[in-house]
Structure 1
Amino acid sequence: MNGIDLFAGAGGLSAGARLAGLDVVHAVEKDPDAAAAYKLNFPEATVHRVDIRSLTDEDISSMKCDVILAGPPCQSFSTSNQRTRHDSNPLNDFIFEPVRFVQLLNPEFVVIENVHGLSIGTRRRYLNLLLEKLKQCSYNTQVCIISGADVGLPQNRNRVFIIGSKKYLPNINIGFRDGQPTVYDAIHDLPILHNGASVDVLPYTMPPKTKYAETLRDRLSCCTGHLVSANASHIIARYAYIPQGGNWRDIPASMMGTYKDRQRCHTGIYHRLRFDEPAKVIGNFRKNMLVHPTQSRGLSIREAARLQSFDDRHQFAGSIGKRQQQVGNAVPPIMAAALLSQILG
C-alpha cells in the first residue's frame, strides 16, 4: 500500500508509516525548510512545496494512494496558548482540507492527527464537523486519543487521531505494557555539549545503555543535529538555580527582571527535565527553554528528536530555529506507527 502525507513537516507521520510498512509517495508541505528536510529523509517521494489550498482538483487526482495521512496546523486548537484558540483564527479551516483529497482520491483509509485540545471545549465542534464530513464521504470513523505511555514514548504527550475507513474497523485499542522510557533512557548516550554548540556531526562518546537509545542509534557511529541555541549569559546564570523537575519558580525574582509578570509564566518555562521521568511535551522547546537535566543549557535538536522518537538517521533542515520548530511540530513516529500497524493489519 502507498500513501500521501499532507502538512507533512519534516516527516513524523511518514516515518511512522514507514515503520508500519506503508510507502509514502507524495507529500505536501508549504514551508521550504520543512519540505527540504522531508526530501532528505524520503528521497523517493514527490514533495509538493505549495500551499495546500493552491492545489487543483487535477493536481490532487494525480496523487493515487491507498492511505491519506495529515497533520494540519494545531495552533488554533492547542490549550497551551489561549490567544490563538478562537473561531477567528484563519488556521481553523485547515483541519478540513484532507476531506477534499478524500473526495477526489477515495482512499481505503484516512488518518488525521492533531492536539488533544481539538477534542475538548469549544474546539470539539470542529472535530464533530470533520467527522460528519468524512461520514458524508461514506467512511466509518473513529477518534483515538493516544498518550506517550501507550506507545513507549519518553514524553507525556497526548494526541488525537481521526480515522476514516472504507471498511469496518474494530475499535483501535493501543496499550503499552513494558513501562514508559525516561529522559535518561532516551538521551544518556549523546555527547556532552556546551551552550551554543554548533558542530552538526559528532561521534558518540559512549555505547547506549538502554534498548530505546540503541534502537534509535541504529548502528550509526555519529549523530547529526546535536545543536543548541546560544543563550545569553544572564539566561545561563538562571539555569544554576533550577533542580531537575524545577522551573522558573526556582530562579530568584531578582534575576527574572526581563519578565514583567512572573506569575504569568506557565510551568514549562525554564523547566529542567528529570532523568528519571518522561519529558514534558516537546512542543516549542526553545520558547519554553526546556533545560537539560544536568548540563547548563537548553535541549539540543537531536535530544528533542530522540524524545519525539525520531531515529538518529532522521535529518532536519534550515537554521537552528527552523530545525527546532520541525522537531516540536512533528508527530512522534512511534505513535503514528502503533496506530497505523493496527489499521493496516
Structure 2
Amino acid sequence: MRTIKVVDLFCGCGGMSLGFQNAGFDLVAAYDNWEPAVKIYKKNFNHAVHNKDLNDETVDVEISAFKPDIIIGGPPCQDFSIAGKRNMGERSNLTIRFAEIVSSVQPEWFVMENVYNIERMPVLPKAVSILRNAGYGLTIKILDASRCGVPQARKRFFMIGHLGDTDGFLEELLNSRMSAKQMTLYEYLGDSLGTQFYYMHPRSYNRRAVFSIHEPSATIRGVNRPIPEGYQKHPADKTEILDGVRSLTSKERSYIQTFPEWFEFDGSKTVIEQAIGNAVPVKLAEYVGKCVLDYAERG
C-alpha cells in the first residue's frame, strides 16, 4: 500500500492528526497559530508542527514543499481582518483561507471539518466555489460522532474533496459504516468514571446539566466548572439525588473526545479545557480517514 502524506492545517492539539495517523496515514507536518495548542501537539507527535498564521500567503509554497497527498483541517469558524494590500479592510473567514490553500497546493484529497451550522453561513458557498473551480468533486456530510465510535452526541460538518471525482463519491462508505445507535459513555469507558451520573456545565440553566453514563455525553466544550452550590435541578436531569454527582476531570473529558490515555495535555487548566473542547474527536477523524483510505485503495 502506498504511503499517503498528510498536512494538517489549524491542527489544534492534534485530534484530527491522531485520528488520521491511526487510520494509516503518514502525517508530515501540521500548522496552527495558537501557541498553547502547538505546545501540546509537540509533546505527542514526532513530525514538525509550525506555529504560523495561515493567513500569510507565503505559507502556500511551504506547504507545497511537503508534497501532501491530502490536506486536512478544521478552520475556526470566525471572522478575521485581512491586513496588507490584498483585501485591505474587508472581512473574510479562515474557511476561505483553507479553500485557497487547497486550491493553490492541489493535493489529491482534502478533508475539512467545521461546526455543523456552517451550512447556514454565507462563507460556505464561497469556499465550495473555490474548491469546485480547482477541480475537486465534493462529498458534504454532517456526521454525528456518537454513530462513528465516539461516546458523545457531537454533530460536525465534513467536506471531503477528491480531484477529478464526482460529487457524493464518499457518501456510500460514510453511511454504510455508521452505527444504527448512539454510543454511550458506559459502552466506551465502562465503570471507570466511578459514578453513574456526572455534571456538565450547560450553555444556560434552561438546559439540563446532569447526565447518565448510559447515554452519549453532551458535546464537550471548552468550559468545565464544578457543580454550583445550590444548583437548581433541571426537570430533564438524569437523577433526583445530586449527592455524589461531580463534574468530570480534564483527563476524563479527553477520553470522551477519544484521546488515548497516553496523550499528554500540558498548560493551565483553562488552556487544557479549551484545547480538548476545540479538538476533533480522534475516533471521528479516524472514521472519516478510514473511509477515505478504503476509497483510495479501491481506485
Q: What is residue 144 of structure 1 aligned with on the other side? A: 141
Q: Distance in 2 between matches of 1:247 and 1:47?
A: 32
CA distance in 1, matches of 2:281, 2:13: 11
- Cα distance 1:248–1:21, how it changes in 2: closer, same or farther (>3 A)? closer
- 1:81-122 CA-to-partner distances (Å, cap 9, x unmatched) read xxxxxxx996x51011122322332101011100111113xx
Q: Are 2:98 and 1:98 aligned?
A: yes
In structure 2, list runs of 5 or more residues that go unmatched.
80-88, 229-236, 295-299
Q: Would the alpha carbon gap of residues 188 and 342 (structure 1) be closer, same or farther in structure 2, given more than 3 Å must change? A: closer
Query: Is 1:51 matched up with 2:48?
Result: no
Letter in structure 2 aligned against 1:39: K
| TM-score (norm. length: structure 1) | 0.68
What secondary structure is seen at the aligned counterpart in 2 of 1:314? coil
Partner of 1:267: 207
Identity %: 28
Answer whether contact 1:118 1:160 (CA < 8 A) is retained.
yes
Query: What is the rounded CA distance, in whole Å, between the counterparts of 1:127 and 1:340 in structure 2?
Result: 22
1:277 to 203, 212, 215: 215
Pair 96,275 (structure 1): closer, same or farther in 2 beyond 3 Å: same
Secondary structure class of the residue paired with 1:54: coil
1:113 is matched by which residue type in structure 2? E
Number of residue pairs aligned between Structure 1 and Structure 2: 265
Match of 1:227 in 2: none
> For 1:248 and 1:4, how far apart are their aligned partners in 2?
34
Partner residue of 1:28 out of 28, 31, 47? 31
Task: For residue 286 of structure 1, give the secondary structure of its aligned residue in structure 2.
Answer: coil
Q: Is this contact kept in 2: 1:60–1:104, CA < 8 A?
A: no
SS of match in other structure, 1:47: strand
Distance 1:36 1:135, change over 3 A: same
Instruction: Name the counterpart of 1:300.
Output: 249
Tell me if the contact between 2:226 and 2:247 (Cα under 8 Å) persists in the aligned partners: no
So what's the TM-score if we normalise by structure 2? Answer: 0.78
In the alignment, the residues of structure 1 paired with residue 146 and residue 129 of structure 2 have an alpha-carbon distance, to the nearest angstrom, of 30
1:143-191 Cα offsets, whole Å, 9 max, x none, are: 1111023212111111000111114234243343374332233445547
Question: How far off its partner does 1:34 sit?
Answer: 0.5
- Determine whether 1:185 maps to 2:182: no
Would you tell me which structure has more strand in proportion to its own residues? 2
**Aligned-pair Cα RMSD in Å:** 3.2
Is the 1:284–1:328 contact (alpha carbons within 8 Å) kept by the matching residues of 2? yes
Query: d(CA) in 2 for partners of 1:329 and 1:24?
Result: 20
Which stretch shows the higher mean deviation, 276-285 or 179-188?
A: 179-188
Q: CA deviation at 1:244?
A: 4.8
Q: 1:307 Cα shift?
A: 1.0
Task: Read off the aligned partner of 2:274 and give its amino acid letter.
Answer: Q
Offset from partner CA, 1:4-30 (integer Å, 9 cap, x none) = 001100101111101211111111011
Residue 339 of structure 1 corresponds to: 288
Q: In the superposition, relative to structure 1, how do residues 107 and 248 fare at CA in structure 2: closer, same or farther (>3 Å)? A: closer
| Pair 278,97 (structure 1): closer, same or farther in 2 beyond 3 Å | same
Contact 2:116 2:156 in 1 (8 A): yes
Q: Deviation digits for residues 288-345 of structure 1, max 9, x if unmatched?
A: 9699997443211111111111111222221111111111000011111111211121
Q: 1:248 touches 1:267 (CA, 8 Å); kept in 2? A: no
| 3-state SS in 2 of match to 1:26 | strand
Contact conserved, 2:170 with 2:292, CA < 8 A, in 1?
Answer: no
Shift of 1:73: 0.8
Give distance in 2, aligned partners of 1:170 and 1:191: 37
SS at match of 2:140: strand
Contact 1:149 1:176 in 2 (8 A): no
CA separation of 1:163 and 1:318: change in aligned 2, threshold 3 A: same
